[in-house]
Amino acid sequence: MKKLFFATALLFTACLQAQMQLPESTYTNIEEQVIAWRHDIHQNPELSNREFKTAAKIAAHLKSLGIEIQTGVAKTGVVGLLKGDLPGKVVALRADIDALPVTERNDLPFKSTVKGTFMGEEVGVMHACGHDTHTAILMGVASVLSQNKDKIKGTVKFIFQPAEEGAPPGEEGGASLMIEEGVLENPKVDAIFGLHINSVLPVGMIGYKPLGAMAASDRFVIKVQGKQTHGSQPWGGVDPILISAKIIDGLQTLISRESELTNEAAVITVGKITAGVRFNIIPESAELIGTIRTLDYKMRDHIGARMKEMVADIAKAYRGSATVEIDNGAAITYNDANLVDQMLPTLKKTAGPDQVMLMKAITGAEDFSFFQEKVPGFYFFLGGNTPGNTEAFPHHTPDFKIDDAGMLLGVRTLSEMALDYLSE
């Protein structure tokens, strides 16, 4: 009987430890600073592998907290190591820090007017996917946890990752390069957590999905070869622009007629077409660049193989030729089921039981997936839309907006997740 009582007492104590909660004042005192960081980063965005000023800002903050830092990881990444007062496991928290080649079009007082160069062209630069919020949130988590080392049973590794949107052509970068350079080692990471702000999900809510949560992303390049001729005499040449149109139309049948969409979603998008120099000349060639999104690896393989067959055959049917190159990008963002079950009580603790919702998978992609291929990971979504707002602009668009009020929950949730994971 005594043994049973002792075992029950130990279990009860463990549950209490796993559900520790820092005082509310811990978070409210940091909110203003987190918002200020976010505004500054948003106003000064930097493209993938060019996040020099952002990295310097992060490193200076971590250093001021007494956190051991490493800079220049995967070119511009920053890694911080915070050792708790008690021994235990290692948990990693990750934020992405890069912006996009998008010209901002909203009326925010901290709107970006920064210009940059992308693939040889001058472009606007904007945090059009919310990475500025991710960075500011994780900086806030570092502040919170560094002030509570006595409650940390183990080690927290802060990973500020560059080039989540993809390194420029011809360069390496992102999560895969960080892993190659040993970010999950010394000390070895046991689990990793990350979040993504969501412009549609209302502030105060958290969305999650076990197993496949986000799609694999592949980049493709189609090169179409025709024969140049005068625009008034199309019969004198082979029109690569016409062929490109037929190819784009044909590719969509791979989704609508060959993909088992009741199993998982899939998407093929052509995002860029380059052809011609003058209105009255049918050019010699055209180039199409786009993305394939899949949530099932068999579907991924089938679509890739069929694209190569279909594109060549369509071009041949119109007297031209075409080639396809497919580069595998992010893997499927796969949330470890056991880790989700373990941390779900923490999400409900920080947001409230009614504010945590099970989501369907989305066809956006995340290179956080590369971390999850190496260690158990959990990636969730944080509400960033003002409650009642019906005009939520999509990510990667010039009008994209996030409500600052959503960020405090992100700080609280990542902080509590780290503490609860290490306490179990």
Active site residues: 98, 164
Q: Which residues of 110-145 are buried (b: 16+ CB within 10 A; e: fewer)?
A: eebebebebeeeebbbbbbbbbbbbbbbbbbbbbbb
CB count within 10 Å of CB 169 equals 11
For the chain, percent helix, then strand, then coil, each to nearest 5?
Answer: 40, 30, 35
3-state secondary structure of 129: coil
Q: How many CA atoms lie within 13 A of 329 on its CB side?
A: 27
CA distances to 70, 138, 186, 400 from 181, rounded to whole Å, are 12, 21, 11, 33
- Token readout for 313 is 């055959």
Query: What is the DSSP secondary structure assignment for residue 62, as one 8-state letter?
Result: H
Q: What is the rounded distance in angstroms from the CA atom of residue 256 to the CA atom of residue 264?
A: 13
For residue 290, the cross-strand partners are 220, 270
314 Cβ contact list (under 8 Å, min separation 6):
243, 246, 247, 250, 322
In terms of Cβ atoms closer than 10 Å to its own Cβ (0-12, 13-18, 19+), residue 5 is exposed
385 Cβ contact list (under 8 Å, min separation 6):
198, 199, 200, 201, 202, 203, 392, 402, 403, 406
Backbone angles phi, psi at 258, to 5 degrees: -125, -10
Q: What is the rounded distance in angstroms from the CA atom of residue 161 to the CA atom of residue 177?
A: 10
| DSSP string computed for 273-307 | EEE-SSTTEE-SEEEEEEEEEESSHHHHHHHHHHH
Contact 67, 158 (CB under 8 A): yes
Do you find a cis peptide bond into 210, omega within 30 degrees of 0?
Answer: no
For helices 407-423 and 131-146, the axis angle rounded to 10 degrees is 50
Q: What is the rounded distance in angstroms from the CA atom of residue 29 to the CA atom of residue 310?
A: 59
Backbone angles phi, psi at 206, to 5 degrees: -125, 135
For helices 24-43 and 52-64, the axis angle rounded to 10 degrees is 160
